[in-house]
Structure 1
Amino acid sequence: MAKLHLALAAALRDHDVRTLFGVVGDANAYFVSAFADMDDTRYVSAGNENGAVLMAIGYAMTTGDVGFCTVTHGPALTNCVTALTEGARSHTPIVLMAGDTPVADRENLQNTDQKAVAVAAGAGFEQLRRPGTALEDLARAVRRAKAERRPVVFNMPADFQWEDAEATHESWDVPALGPTRIEGDALDNAVGIIAVARRPVVLAGRGAIDDASRAALLRLARRIEAPLATTIRAKNLFRGEDHVLGVCGTVSTPQAAEILMGADCIIAFGASLNFHTTAEGGFVEGKRVIQVADRAEDLGVGAVADVAILGQAAEAADTFVHWLDEVEIPASGFTRDLPAQGLDVPPIPKPGRPRDGTIDFLAALKRLNDILPEDRVLVTDAGRWMVRSYGLLTAPAPRDFVTSASFGSIGLGLATAIGAGVAHPGRPTVLFNGDGGFMLGNLAEFHSAVRAGLDLIVVLMNDGSYGAEHVQFRDKQLDPAITLFDWPAFVPLARALGGDGVEVRSEDALAALPDALAGRDRSRPFLIDVHLDPDHVAMW
C-alpha cells in the first residue's frame, strides 16, 4: 500500500514516463513533488496552465508518445480549454492529470463541473473513482488517449491524495490493428482503379509517417510510376526521393498544383483528406480516390473516397503491389515525363519594397529557412504569415515539423515548442510566431523556456499589428488603426526574462544573423525580432 499521490507518481515512472509538464496547486502538488523526486524523471513547470497542456502536446507530436501534464482544479482547468481544444482538433494523445476540489466541499470557491469543461473542449474525461481503483482509472485514461488520439482529462479529487491506494500494475497498452486483409469488392475496385489510372498520385498523411509505411509507399509509387505527395503534417516524409510533389493542398508549389490538378487518381494513406489537403475539393474533383486509414473515424470525414479501406498503410500498399504484379498490370508511365527533382521547391520570392526600418516578408522567410540550424525541430504559431511559411520553411522529417493552429488560435506556439524541445535535448528548436501571438500567449512561457534551459530560437515576425484583421481593414479601405500596436522593444524584454536576442530591421542585419546564431548561448532562448511592414505581408 502507498499514499495515492505516491502511487500515481510511481505508476508514471513504472510505465516509462520520464517527463511531466504542469503548474502546481493544492490538489496536485504532492503528486508532482513525488514524481520530481524520483531518479531519471523531469518535471517542467509552465507559467500558465494552458502552457502546460501545450507542452505535453508538443512533446507528443514530436515523439509519437502520449504526453503527460498536470494542473490543479477550477480556474486551473478552465485555463486549459484552448489548449485542450487544440489537442482535440490536432488528434494529439495527451493525459491531463487534473486535481479536483474535495468531493464533500460543496462551497469551495474553485469548484466547477470539470467534466463539462473537458467535454466542451472536445477532450475525453476519466474520473478517479476512489483510491482503490486509481491505477485502474489512470490506465483507462491513458488507453483512451492512445486509442482516441485526443486529450483525456484524468480527474483527481484532492481529498484522495493522502489516502492509501492499492499498488496494482495495470496495462496501458492498446492492441494494435490486426493484419490488413483486403478482400472482395474493396480489393477488386482498388486494384481496378489503380490499373486504369494513367496519372496516379500516392499521398501520405500523418498516419503513414513510420518507416514501414514510408518504404511501402515508395514501393507502390515506383511500381505504378506515380509521384509522391504528403499532407502538411507529413511534410518531408519523402525528402530526397525522386518525383516528390511536396505538400498536397493549399500550400502546394505551382508546379505540384498543376500535376495534382491533372491527376486522375489519388491513393491516400493515413490522411483524412480534409479541405486543406484537397484545396477545398479542387484536388480530388473528377478523380478516383482510394483512402486507407487505420481509424474508421478518419474515413469519409473529408473527401468521400471511391474505395475506403480500414487498415495499416504499409500492409495495404504492399497488398496493392502484390496484386498488380500478380495480374501483370503495367505501370502508368506518369513520372516518365516529370522532372525527377524540384517539383516541391517553392519559387524564389520576388523582393518587395517595404517601408524603411523593415525587411521584405517572403524574402526574409526564404533567407531564414537557409540560415537557421539544419537539424532543427520547427514549430509554427498561427498568424497571417503562417500559410506562406508552411511552403517556405522546412524541417528534417515529419515529426520535426509541428503546427499549433488546429484551433486557429494565435499564441500557442512557444509552449508547444518547449514540449518539442524537451523531447529532443541536444537539438535546436525553432519557433516562428507573430508579435500578436507573442504578446497574447507566448510571452507568458518565454521564461519557462529559460527555466528549462532550452536551446530555443524564437523568430518573431513583427509587423506591429494583428495582421489578419489589418489586411481585412485594408481590403475594405477602412482605417486599420485599431489593429496596430506600439509594442515594447522585444529584445530587451527577452533579456530581462533571462534570454537573449537580436533585432533585424535591414538586409545587413539579416546578413549578420549567422554569426549571432553561432555565438548564442544554447542553454537559453534566443529571440530574433524581424521587423516587417504590415502593408506588405502576404497572407496567401
Structure 2
Amino acid sequence: MPKVYEELARALAAADQGPVFGLVGDANLYLVDCFIRAHGGDYVAAANENGAVLAALGYASVSGRVGVATVTHGPAVTNTLTALADGVRSGLPALLICGDTAVADRQNLQNIAQREAVLSTGAGFEQVHSAETARDDLIRAMRAAAAERRPYALNLPTDLQHETVAAAQGAIRIAPTPPAVVPQEGDDLHEAVAVLAAAKRPLVLAGRGACDAESRAALLRLADRLEAPLATTLKARELFRGEDWDLGIFGTLSAPGAVEAILQADCVISFGASLSSYTTSDGAYVEGKRVVQVSPRAADLGCWHRPDVAVLGDAAPTVEALLRWLDEAEIAPSGFRGELAPRGLGDFPAAEAPAEGLDCVAALSRLEALLPRPRTFVMDGGRHMINALQYVTAGDPQHYVHTTSFGAIGLGMAYAVGAAKAAPDRPAVLICGDGGFMLGGLAEFNTAVRHALDLTVVVANDGSYGAEHVQLRNKQMDPAVSLFAWPDIAPVAEALGGRGVTVRELADFAAVEAAIAEGRRPLLIELKLDPDRIGT
C-alpha cells in the first residue's frame, strides 16, 4: 500500500494541471521527489517560497489552469503571504501544498498557526484530516481554488505523510467548463434597455471578465448597434486593438483623446469589470453618467461603484438579450460616433529622443518595436509602470499578466517564471524597476536561467525607489532616503548565468537588438535613467 505522500504525488499527476513550483524542506521533499521520480512530473525549483507561489499564479494567469506550488512549514508558509494576498485580489486559482509540523511536536522551532496566517490573506484553507481523506482533501482544495478563483492552501502534517493508504486509480477532473450565466428576463434587464434607449452618448466598456473571443464579438455588435465607442479596463487592455472607435484604456491610464471622449459620454455599459476606483478615476469618469454594470460574478456588482442598473450575466448572452429588446423597441442608434474621430483617440504622444542621456518613454517606445511578438507581457509595480503600460503592448489581453493587485513591487520576476512556463512557445517580457528587481527579482532571475526560460527582463534603473522619490521631491523634502547605489545590474545578470545589456543612450539599442536576435538564455536589459528626468 502506498504512503500518503505517494498517493498525493499520484493525484497531482492525475489532475494534470501543469508543473509544480516549489521550494523543498523536510515537510514536502518526499512528495516532490515522488512527483518527479515516480510520475515524471515537471517541477520548477524556486529560490524563495514567495516566488514559488507567485510563479504558480503567473502560470494560472496565462494558462487558465490551477497553478500548483509547494513549500515546507513555518517560516516557509509565512514567506508566501504576500503572494497569497496578491493571488486573492487578482482572482487567480492556485493550490499551495504546505507541510506542517507534527501535531504532537509543540516544541518544534517552526511551529506556527498556519491556518490563521493563510486565512489572513483571504486565501482558502483545507486541512488534511487523515491518511484516508488526504487524496480527497487535495482534490477538494484544488476544485475550490478553480471554482472560487482564489488560492487555497492544503495543510499537510509531516507525521501523517508517512502513513499508508489504499491506492486510487484514474484521472481527476478539476475544473469542468462552467455554463454561461444567462441574464434573467425581468426588471434589471428591462431597466438596462431603458437606460441605453435614453442615452445620447453611450460607451461600451470591457473588463477582464469579458476577454474571450465570444464576448469580444458580442461587444463589437452591441457597440455598432448603439454607435458607441469602445474602451477597456487595464486588465483587458488591447481587447479591441485595431478596431475603429477603440479608446484604449478607460481609467487613470487613459490617453488624452480618450479622456475627452469619456467625459463626453452620458452612459457607460460595462461587462466583466468590477469598476474599481482606478477604472473610474476615483469616480470622476462616471460622474453624471448612467452606469449599467454587467458581470457573471455577483461579487463584482456594486463592489466599488454603485451602478444605476446591475445585471448578473455573461457578456455574450446579455448582449444578445439587449440587442433583441433594442430592435424590438426600434431604438435608434445614438450617433455618438459621429462626434468622434474613428481612430487614434487611444494613442499616446510619440516619444521624442532626448538631446543627451536616456528618456524613459523614448526607450520604452524603442523596446516596443524590438521585443519579440507575439509575447507574454508581465508588468511589475513601480514608477516606470505608467509609461510602460502606455507604450509597451502584449497584443492580447490574455497575454498580459498583472502583478500589483496587492500594491506590492518586486512580484513580477516570479510571476514571469510561471507565465513563461505556461506559454513556452511565446517569449515572455517582464518590465520592472531597479527596486523591484533587487527586492524580489534577483534570485528568481537565476530560476529562469536554471530552467532555460525564454524571458527578457527590462529593468528601468533610476537608482531609487521612484514613487517615493517623486513624493519627496514634490513635498520639497530631501530624496536621499529613496536613492540607492545599486551595482550595475546587467553584469549581475551575467553572473547569474543569463545575459545582460546596459543602455545609457539610444545608440546602445544596437546592442539590444543584437542580443534579442541571438535569442538564447534569459536576457536582462538595463535602462540607465535619471530619477529627476522621469515622468510621474
Give the alignment's TM-score, normalised by structure 1.
Answer: 0.96
SS at match of 1:131: coil
1:162-209 Cα shifts (integer Å, max 9, x gaps): 212344576534672555133221121111111111111111111111
2:57: which partner in 1? 57
SS at match of 2:58: helix
Aligned residue identity for 1:467: G
1:383: which partner in 2? 382
Q: Distance in 1 between matches of 2:470 and 2:354?
A: 17
Report if the CA contact (8 A) 1:293-1:312 is conserved. Answer: yes
Aligned residue identity for 1:397: D
2:411: which partner in 1? 412
1:332-369 Cα shifts (integer Å, max 9, x gaps): 1222343222222211134556xx6x401111121111
- After alignment, is 102-111 or 42-51 more displaced? 102-111
1:213-260 Cα shifts (integer Å, max 9, x gaps): 111111111111111111111111111222111111000111111111
> CA offset at residue 39 of structure 1?
5.2
Identity over the aligned pairs, expressed in percent? 53
Report if the CA contact (8 A) 2:459-2:526 is conserved. Answer: yes
1:50-87 Cα shifts (integer Å, max 9, x gaps): 00000011111111221111101000000111111111
SS at match of 1:2: coil
Matches within 5 A, 1:2-151: 2-38=2-38, 41-151=41-151
Q: 1:38 to 1:222 in 2, by over 3 A?
A: farther
Q: Distance in 2 between matches of 1:276 and 1:490?
A: 32
Q: 1:238 to 1:178 in 2, by over 3 A?
A: closer
Aligned residue identity for 1:320: L
Q: Distance in 2 between matches of 1:181 and 1:229?
A: 23
Q: Distance in 1 between matches of 2:368 and 2:317?
A: 36
- After alignment, is 37-46 or 433-442 more displaced? 37-46
1:438: which partner in 2? 437
Q: Distance in 2 between matches of 1:63 and 1:204?
A: 21
Aligned residue identity for 1:80: T
- After alignment, is 157-166 or 24-33 more displaced? 157-166
1:367-394 Cα shifts (integer Å, max 9, x gaps): 1112211211111111111122212211
1:532: which partner in 2? 529
Report if the CA contact (8 A) 1:352-1:536 is conserved. Answer: no
- After alignment, is 323-332 or 413-422 more displaced? 323-332
1:318: which partner in 2? 320
1:457: which partner in 2? 456
SS at match of 2:92: coil
Q: Distance in 2 between matches of 1:537 and 1:38?
A: 53
Q: Distance in 1 between matches of 2:503 and 2:367?
A: 11
Q: Does 1:513 align with 2:524?
A: no
1:403: which partner in 2? 402
Aligned residue identity for 1:197: A
Task: State the superposition RMSD in angstroms.
Answer: 1.6
Aligned residue identity for 2:27: A
From 243, 252, 259, the equivalent of 2:254 is 252
Q: Does 1:428 align with 2:430?
A: no
Q: Distance in 1 between matches of 2:352 and 2:499?
A: 32
- After alignment, is 178-187 or 291-300 more displaced? 178-187
Report if the CA contact (8 A) 1:35-1:41 is conserved. Answer: yes
> CA offset at residue 40 of structure 1?
5.7
Aligned residue identity for 1:374: R
Q: Does 1:296 align with 2:298?
A: yes
> CA offset at residue 38 of structure 1?
4.8
Q: 1:290 to 1:177 in 2, by over 3 A?
A: farther
Q: Does 1:364 align with 2:366?
A: no
Matches within 5 A, 1:324-335: 324-335=326-337
Aligned residue identity for 1:26: D
Runs of at least 4 residues off by over 6 Å: none
Aligned residue identity for 1:535: D
Aligned residue identity for 1:13: A
Give the alignment's TM-score, normalised by structure 2.
Answer: 0.96
Report if the CA contact (8 A) 1:461-1:531 is conserved. Answer: yes
1:486: which partner in 2? 485
Q: 1:340 to 1:38 in 2, by over 3 A?
A: farther
Matches within 5 A, 1:121-270: 121-168=121-168, 172-173=174-175, 176-177=178-179, 179-270=181-272
Report if the CA contact (8 A) 1:50-1:83 is conserved. Answer: yes
> CA offset at residue 330 of structure 1?
1.4
From 284, 287, 290, the equivalent of 2:289 is 287
Q: Distance in 2 between matches of 1:343 and 1:11?
A: 51
1:340: which partner in 2? 342
Report if the CA contact (8 A) 2:360-2:387 is conserved. Answer: no
Aligned residue identity for 2:25: G
Q: Distance in 2 between matches of 1:231 and 1:37?
A: 44
Aligned residue identity for 2:474: D
Q: Distance in 1 between matches of 2:435 and 2:15?
A: 40
In structure 1, stretches of 5+ residues that fail to align are none
1:266-311 Cα shifts (integer Å, max 9, x gaps): 1111100000111111111111111111111111111111111112
Q: Distance in 2 between matches of 1:101 and 1:186?
A: 52
Report if the CA contact (8 A) 1:191-1:324 is conserved. Answer: yes
SS at match of 1:390: helix
Q: Does 1:275 align with 2:277?
A: yes
Report if the CA contact (8 A) 2:10-2:39 is conserved. Answer: no
Q: Distance in 1 between matches of 2:144 and 2:419?
A: 22
Aligned residue identity for 1:295: R
- After alignment, is 218-227 or 165-174 more displaced? 165-174
Aligned residue identity for 1:362: V
Q: Distance in 1 between matches of 2:198 and 2:323?
A: 14
Q: 1:203 to 1:173 in 2, by over 3 A?
A: same
Q: Distance in 2 between matches of 1:393 and 1:179?
A: 34
> CA offset at residue 11 of structure 1?
1.3
> CA offset at residue 478 of structure 1?
2.3
Report if the CA contact (8 A) 2:181-2:296 is conserved. Answer: no
SS at match of 2:133: helix
- After alignment, is 67-76 or 305-314 more displaced? 305-314
1:75-132 Cα shifts (integer Å, max 9, x gaps): 0000111111111121111111111111111111111000111011221111111111
SS at match of 2:99: strand
SS at match of 2:132: helix
Q: Distance in 1 between matches of 2:137 and 2:515?
A: 50
Q: Distance in 2 between matches of 1:360 and 1:179?
A: 47
Report if the CA contact (8 A) 2:208-2:272 is conserved. Answer: yes
> CA offset at residue 511 of structure 1?
4.1
In structure 2, stretches of 5+ residues that fail to align are none
Q: 1:507 to 1:179 in 2, by over 3 A?
A: closer
Aligned residue identity for 1:458: V
> CA offset at residue 512 of structure 1?
3.9
